[in-house]
Amino acid sequence: MSGRTRRLTMAQALVEFLANQHSERDGREQRLFAGCFGIFGHGNVAGVGQALQQYAAGGSGGAQGAPSEGRGLRYYQARNEQGMVHAAAGYARQRNRLATFACTTSIGPGATNLVTGAATATINRLPVLLLPGDVFASRVGPPVLQQLESPGGPEVTANDCLRPVSRYWDRINRPEQLPGSLLEAMRVLTDPAETGAVTLALPQDVQTEAFDYPEELFRRRVWHVPRPVPEPAALARAVEVLRAARRPLLVAGGGVIYAEATDALLALVEATGIPVAETYAGKGSLPYDHPSALGAIGATGTDGANAMAREADVVVGVGTRWSDFTTASHSVFANPEVRFVNVNVAPVDAFKHAAHPVVADARVALEALGEALGGWRADDGWRRAAAEHNRAWDAAVERVYRAGHGPLPSQGEVIGAVNDAAGPRDVVVCAAGSMPADLHKLWRTRDPKGFHVEYGNSCMGYEIPGGLGIKLAAPDREVFVMIGDASYLMLPQELVTAVAERVKLIVVLVQNHGYASIGSLSAATGSGGFGTRFRHRDADGAFEGDPLPVDLAANAASLGARVLSVRAVGELRDALKTARDSDQTVVVHVETDPAAYVTIGGAWWDVAVAEVSTSEPVRAARAGYERNRQTQRPYL
Ligand SMILES: Cc1ncc(C[n+]2csc(CCOP(=O)(O)OP(=O)(O)O)c2C)c(N)n1
Ligand SMILES: [Mg+2]
């Protein structure tokens, strides 16, 4: 201890600390925080806002608004606090969780706007640091503007909403509390098993209070992101189970990609012939045209992945949290003898489905598995079946891509045109609506970072801010944001941020006049699409009247984007070329036929249907539901 101190406000100490944090994995170091998104109000303008000004990163920040590598912490102005968190999460995911952004907000609505973004980050296990302002710790003269006054007492503020959606939550009531809390916050952010949203609520008076902070707090710090090795006995048990397998299947989740384990996976697959199916977060683990690549699994899976899943006797889940979409609500693994081996850095996931748990980093574990399996190979017929499924599925995808539907194109053709326009390293982004399912089935992924569908929270509105974060993380890739009309209406405003930062996105806005995906779900559960079309209210009170005079192309243009409107696939292909050549954000507006569904692939998904009803279609749907539920089973 030098014993030296520096007199700084709590906010200044916080910002200087964040500017000095780094992460390291495999010998590569990077800054942990690329910058700080913020919207100022009375709860942060004179505290964190003043500090960000004082420590503003110098320099232009490089091409496409890339985060500055210089000292200080760069401030990024945003338009909606939820959007800031999505941008931070998109950035973190693209950087394999090794770097992220901080987000500063005022108190009250600025803070509560963080909640949905925080939940999305936490569900997807993505690190984001949230710094909402909070009410005066001094409690002189309450209530301050936007103070909640909870019956739970003055300790409870609007920021307590962030507790259940944060992996670490603290309120800094005195400036000297900051150092200890910061170290905890960094530990959680950089721990692959614990990571998610981290919230430090900052009372507005405490942000501005001076304290003699020890100089050591501000030294350059490197947080080593671990690659936990498997316990030898656990690995041995997993190997024994696999060696006995006759129909093994590997399910690759997001952990494969975050751990940069795709080469290790490829080596294991080539050595053993084990077929691989992919979750949403794991899509891209193998290139789509590898003979062992079965593509998407589960409710939105390919025929091959789901057929082999039904027969599999040993399922190796790697880096997956086993969501209901992956398991088709516990119906897709239908072999009564099926057993699971789960490789996961998080014990909570490793133990799911009563698996043989291998708590470890995906890359280390896949390498160790390969070595321990020696010359073991999956049955030749099983391996050939996977290759056959791969070829058949790609032919089916090709037919969807070139369906020639008219007069309006089908969504599958739009996806085909975007896939053709995208280079192998480019990124497709989506989150909610009917497109995630279609992308999961149809997108030909050629790069581990090429498929970015947020399907942990499937949060309408993630697409544009998420795309912004991705482009900030990977300025050398084109980012194709695919977004439905309703998701666009939910959160378009970070288009303004993309324009302001000169960050180029290609947004493909698919207009089908409503919540088409939920419309299909409503029809499938007997309610005929009730309340899901964007129409005027008609004489019967239903939303079945005239189309609405809503012009989303004009809306996007009004936010500063270049807009190209197209009505046919040929025009779409031309527009995508123009968009590629452009150096500014382009929104390609395309109307599709909502009745032209992708009918290939898929499996059941558990959505409960009314047990009693006056409606015959609902009663019929309930009967079907009860039949489907028979296929659901616990994995014990
Ligand atoms: C914030 C949020 N609210 C509600 C939902 C439920 N939801 C899932 S998809 C969907 C409709 C999305 O409509 P759109 O973006 O136009 O895509 P489409 O279904 O028409 O393809 C809704 C309401 C959600 N996922 N996220
Ligand atoms: Mg829609």
pLDDT digit string, tens, across residues 295-337: 999 999 999 999 999 999 999 999 999 999 999 999 999 999 9
Ligand 1 centroid to residue 286 C-alpha, Å: 29
Task: Say if residues 222 and 29 touch (Cβ distance below 8 Å).
Answer: yes
Which of 123, 488, 515 has most ligand 1 atoms within 8 Å of its beta carbon, as the pocket-test mutant? 515
Average pLDDT over residues 615-622: 98
| Per-residue pLDDT tens digits for 387-432 | 999 999 999 999 999 999 999 999 999 999 999 999 999 999 999 9
- Spatial CA neighbour of 435 closest among 525, 526, 507: 507
Average pLDDT over residues 185-202: 98
* Distance between CA atoms of residues 598 and 592, nearest Å: 13
> If you take atom 9 of ligand 1, which residue's CA is the nearest one?
433
Which whole-number Å values give the CA distances from 187 to 32, 119, 184, 557, in the listed order? Answer: 12, 19, 5, 43
Q: Which amino acid is residue 114, in one-letter code?
A: L
> If you take atom 10 of ligand 1, which residue's CA is the nearest one?
433
Token pair of 397, please? 């995808």
- Spatial CA neighbour of 113 closest among 77, 85, 138, 89: 85
| Per-residue pLDDT tens digits for 600-612 | 999 999 999 999 9
Q: Which atom of ligand 1 is nearest to the CA of 435?
A: 21
Ligand 1 centroid to residue 36 C-alpha, Å: 29
| Per-residue pLDDT tens digits for 109-146 | 999 999 999 999 999 999 999 999 999 999 998 999 99
Ligand 1 centroid to residue 516 C-alpha, Å: 8
> If you take atom 11 of ligand 1, which residue's CA is the nearest one?
515
Ligand 1 centroid to residue 510 C-alpha, Å: 12
Number of Cα atoms under 13 Å in the Cβ half of residue 470:
29
* Distance between CA atoms of residues 270 and 386, nearest Å: 13
Residue 229 has pLDDT above 90, yes or no: yes
Ligand 2 centroid to residue 518 C-alpha, Å: 9
The response to whether residue 518 sits with its C-beta less than 6 Å from ligand 1 reads yes
Token pair of 308, please? 């082999």
Ligand 2 centroid to residue 197 C-alpha, Å: 29
Average pLDDT over residues 374-393: 97
Q: How many CB atoms neighbour CB 164 within 10 A?
A: 11
Q: Which atom of ligand 1 is nearest to the CA of 483?
A: 15
Q: Which ligand is nearest to the CA of 532?
A: 1
Token pair of 183, please? 């170290």
DSSP 285: S
Q: What is the DSSP string of 528-573?
A: TTTT-B-B---TTSSS-SSBP---HHHHHHHTT-EEEEESSHHHHH
Q: What are phi and psi of 494, to 5 degrees?
A: -75, -5
* Distance between CA atoms of residues 439 and 421, nearest Å: 15
Which of 481, 518, 590, 591 has most ligand 1 atoms within 8 Å of its beta carbon, as the pocket-test mutant? 518
Would you state the pLDDT for residue 61? 37
For the chain, the distance separating the N- and C-terminal CA atoms, rounded to the nearest angstrom, is 54
Residue 66 has pLDDT above 50, yes or no: no
Token pair of 4, please? 């030296």
- Spatial CA neighbour of 603 closest among 632, 565, 569, 635: 632
* Distance between CA atoms of residues 426 and 410, nearest Å: 23
The response to whether residue 517 sits with its C-beta less than 6 Å from ligand 1 reads yes
Which of 487, 488, 550, 607 has most ligand 1 atoms within 8 Å of its beta carbon, as the pocket-test mutant? 487
Average pLDDT over residues 352-363: 98
Average pLDDT over residues 287-294: 98
The helix or strand, by DSSP H or E, that contains position 203, with its residue range, turns out to be: strand 197-203
Ligand 1 centroid to residue 62 C-alpha, Å: 36
Would you state the pLDDT for residue 541? 87
* Distance between CA atoms of residues 94 and 83, nearest Å: 16
Number of Cα atoms under 13 Å in the Cβ half of residue 441:
31
> If you take atom 12 of ligand 1, which residue's CA is the nearest one?
433
Q: Which atom of ligand 1 is nearest to the CA of 116?
A: 1
Ligand 2 centroid to residue 596 C-alpha, Å: 13
Which residues are 293's β-sheet partners? 276
Which of 323, 415, 460, 462 has most ligand 1 atoms within 8 Å of its beta carbon, as the pocket-test mutant? 460
Counting beta carbons within 10 angstroms of the beta carbon of residue 152, is it exposed (0 to 12), middle (13 to 18) or buried (19 or more)? exposed
Would you state the pLDDT for residue 89? 99
Token pair of 181, please? 């809390």
| Sheet arrangement for strand 479-484 | 451-453, 427-430, 479-484, 506-511, 586-591, 562-566
Mean pLDDT of the chain: 96
Q: Where are the alpha helices (DSSP H) in 244-379?
A: 254-258, 262-272, 303-311, 324-327, 347-350, 362-373
> If you take atom 3 of ligand 1, which residue's CA is the nearest one?
460
Ligand 2 centroid to residue 179 C-alpha, Å: 47
Query: The whole model's pTM is what?
Result: 0.97
Would you state the pLDDT for residue 58? 52
Q: Where does the pLDDT of residue 62 fall: very low under 50, low under 70, confident under 90, or very high at 90 and above?
A: very low
The response to whether residue 430 sits with its C-beta less than 6 Å from ligand 1 reads no
Residue 40 has pLDDT above 80, yes or no: yes
Rg (CA), the chain: 25
For residue 523, give every residue at least 6 positions away whose Cβ sits within 8 Å of its Cβ, in sequence order, or none: 529
Q: Which ligand is nearest to the CA of 511?
A: 2
Among left, alpha and beta (phi > 0; psi -120 to 50; other), residue 35 is left
Average pLDDT over residues 194-200: 99
Among left, alpha and beta (phi > 0; psi -120 to 50; other), residue 47 is alpha
Task: Say if residues 296 and 309 touch (Cβ distance below 8 Å).
Answer: no
| Per-residue pLDDT tens digits for 575-584 | 999 999 999 9
Would you state the pLDDT for residue 141? 87
Residue 371 has pLDDT above 50, yes or no: yes
